[in-house]
Structure 1
Amino acid sequence: MLATLGTPPQGTGRAVEVKADGQRGTIVVADGAVTVFSRNGTDVTRTFPELAGITAAIGDRRVVLDGEIVALDAQGRPSFTRLQRRWPQQRRPGADLVRSVPVRFWAFDILHADGNDVTEQPYTRRRDLLDDLTVVDKSRVLTVPRPMLGVTPSDALDAVAAHGMEGVVVKELDSPYRPGERSPYWIKVPIRASIELTIVGYWNAGGPGGRTRVGSLLVAGHDQTGDLMAIGQVGTGFSDLTRRTLHAQLQPLRCSTAPVANHVDVPGVRFVQPQLVAEVAYREYVAGRWLRHTSFKGLRPSNPSQTLLPTPA
């Protein structure tokens, strides 16, 4: 089930969970084996072999879990930039990479428990099942974060902002789980708005070595008629490694003409085929103008044909 972007609801009669800066995933545990799926259903078990340790955390159970695959920074916060070091998907990482960038699974929901489909059970019942799942006090690969109860979403948002987290997800206590749906039962409230957009061009970085590093990206989304429209330039949020990695990924996609329907008259842009999707944080979007105060959050394993323009302010 996917959350709907919105503003913090009023009142305290809901659960509030921290929005993790990771990769959405589904974990299937059956007969002592762990299978890991991405949000779009791709089997990425090879990419995250340490998650096989979830069986030690839950014992002899058969479950399907929903949550986020996260890599923690030095402060113990999920870091998507750090997680990207474990990509590309479908690749089994070497032992050194697993040791230097370990991942864990933050489980926030349970869909099946010991052969029983529990998606029609209310959120509170599913949380009870999830909280009772672990048989060890602390696991290196499985975390079940506690929801915040009895607090207003606005207060919770202030608290997570003070700790440098992504935002919150507000969930109705009696809500069922609707697989694959974007549901109003879950409201995501990020500290900054973010959106998945297609990369359609880039500019080289300046200075020495700039020809092998991305300086900024040109991003686009589809309008209501299906046309791909360029709507912004993203030049912050990159590590030096990310700038080099993106440059290498974009070279085979170079094309001579703009892959967007609107006119882009910006010197120095190098157009690319619309095959990669980036998550972009931004402050404001006004129809007919470019995104303001953008920041690169990372590549996402999403379908470029399904990226949409943000809702205008």
Structure 2
Amino acid sequence: VEPKYDGERIMIHWDRAQDKLMLYTRRQNDYTDLYYKFLPIVRDLLRCRSCILDGELLIWNRDTCTFKPFGHNRTYAISNDPTSVEQFCYCAFDCLYHDGHDLTDMALHHRRATLQRAVRCQEKVLEVVKATRVETLKEVLLALDKGITQGDEGIVLKAWDSPYVPGERKLKWMKLKADHVSGMGDTLDLLVLGGYYGTKFGQKQISHFLLGVQGPASSRQQLWHTLCKVGSGYNSVELQALQQHFNSRWRPYDKRSPPPHLDGWETAADDVPDVWGEPEQSLVMEVKGYSFVPSTKFKVGSTVRFPRMLRIRRDKAPEGVLNTSQLQELMESSEHLKSALACIDNFQLNADVKRVQRQTAGAGASAGAG
């Protein structure tokens, strides 16, 4: 599993003997002149006589400690601002050619080992994309959860022994991201009930939010049932808007005396929010997730897997938020990550078939030798 960045796919062609460094897109468009500012930087970080690298070119913002969205590359490339806090960052994930040798027919793990030798990594300038070995569905989903939380597009699944086939992924390379996999269908309008401190966009601040739905109305007040915690989907501007709204409204959360409108909600220490706010003064978030899953952490008894904010619903009042009955109907109609599981099962099946084929071939060779 590798993270899927929201960058521009660029291939680096390097030949030290001819002192030639070229940048191409996957479709062989020459972008060397466009990204000329990056050439002297990457030249000093190549430790080989020749190579062809595959990766993503992004723009790193040193102030916010985040990558800029796709499409900002060219804006930065043609700018001449000496005070800019932005810089190119190339995230390499493959090596197709190295010191006179074509590596495309070699296994991915061999190419990645060669890639590590071919470059001298420099943080947020030239990096080798981290790869994590996974063998189970649970490990895949954990990697996907981590990627979404970090703000990545998603993850890429790659067979560890796969060759490099340009433009063809099929079951050897497969992307999983929010736009490709969604077993929940509908979006959810949820109310912000609390917040958690975290580091987001380079600052320690309330950056994760506790969300919930309307519970039953008691004789004294409207009750609210916690459903999930969201920490992705918004940019720095949207987070700032949330901060401006809530900063004067937050109250420290005391688990010994929780707010009565949370209807006796109790959870593990790690899930207790740092702050809470009055529902009447809160905001509604429109949220999208992959599926509903059972959970003892939240009052509802379930939670949203991989939730992300789509937008702040300033046009909607707290009483317009989902109630527990409506949520139950949505949960019953959810497909529970059906499409994601199908993709992952196919990926694992392909790997199992190839493993059997290798074992069969090895057994046949041994029998022939005997």
TM-score normalised by length of structure 1: 0.51
Q: Are residue 79 (structure 1) and residue 68 (structure 2) matched?
A: yes
Contact 1:48-1:103 at 8 Å conserved across structures: no
Q: Which has the higher helix share?
A: 2
Superposition pairs of residues 236-247 of structure 1, within 5 angstroms = none
Aligned to 1:26: 11
Q: Are residue 38 (structure 1) and residue 38 (structure 2) matched?
A: no
Contact 1:47-1:87 at 8 Å conserved across structures: no
SS at match of 2:67: coil
Q: Are residue 64 (structure 1) and residue 33 (structure 2) matched?
A: no
Superposition pairs of residues 266-277 of structure 1, within 5 angstroms = none
Superposition pairs of residues 119-158 of structure 1, within 5 angstroms = 119-135=104-120, 138=122, 141-150=125-134, 152-158=139-145
Q: Are residue 184 (structure 1) and residue 163 (structure 2) matched?
A: no
Output the CA distance in 2 between the equivalents of 1:187 and 1:98.
40
The amino acid of 1:134's aligned partner reads: V
Aligned to 1:9: none
Output the CA distance in 1 between the equivalents of 2:236 and 2:74.
15
Q: Which runs of 5+ in 1 are unaligned?
A: 1-15, 195-236, 241-281, 285-292, 296-310
CA apart distance, 1:131: 1.4
Higher relative CO (Cα under 8 Å, sequence separation at least 6) belongs to 1
The amino acid of 1:68's aligned partner reads: E
The amino acid of 1:78's aligned partner reads: F
CA apart distance, 1:77: 3.6
The amino acid of 2:30's aligned partner reads: D
SS at match of 1:106: strand
Contact 1:70-1:104 at 8 Å conserved across structures: yes
Alpha carbons of structure 1 residues 26 and 84: separation in structure 2 relative to 1, 3 Å: same
CA apart distance, 1:111: 0.5
Alpha carbons of structure 1 residues 102 and 129: separation in structure 2 relative to 1, 3 Å: same
SS at match of 2:165: coil
Output the CA distance in 2 between the equivalents of 1:17 and 1:239.
25
Alpha carbons of structure 1 residues 84 and 26: separation in structure 2 relative to 1, 3 Å: same
CA RMSD of the aligned region, Å? 3.3
CA apart distance, 1:87: 4.2
SS at match of 1:58: coil
CA apart distance, 1:79: 2.6
SS at match of 1:159: helix
Contact 1:50-1:141 at 8 Å conserved across structures: no
Number of residue-to-residue matches in the alignment = 186
Output the CA distance in 2 between the equivalents of 1:42 and 1:98.
30
Output the CA distance in 1 between the equivalents of 2:83 and 2:98.
29
Alpha carbons of structure 1 residues 238 and 154: separation in structure 2 relative to 1, 3 Å: closer
CA apart distance, 1:188: 0.2
Contact 1:193-1:283 at 8 Å conserved across structures: no
CA apart distance, 1:19: 0.2
CA apart distance, 1:35: 0.7
CA apart distance, 1:95: 3.0
Q: Which runs of 5+ in 2 are unaligned?
A: 182-233, 238-287, 291-308, 312-338, 340-370
Q: 2:87 aligns with which of 81, 99, 102?
A: 102
Aligned to 2:153: 166
Aligned to 1:111: 96
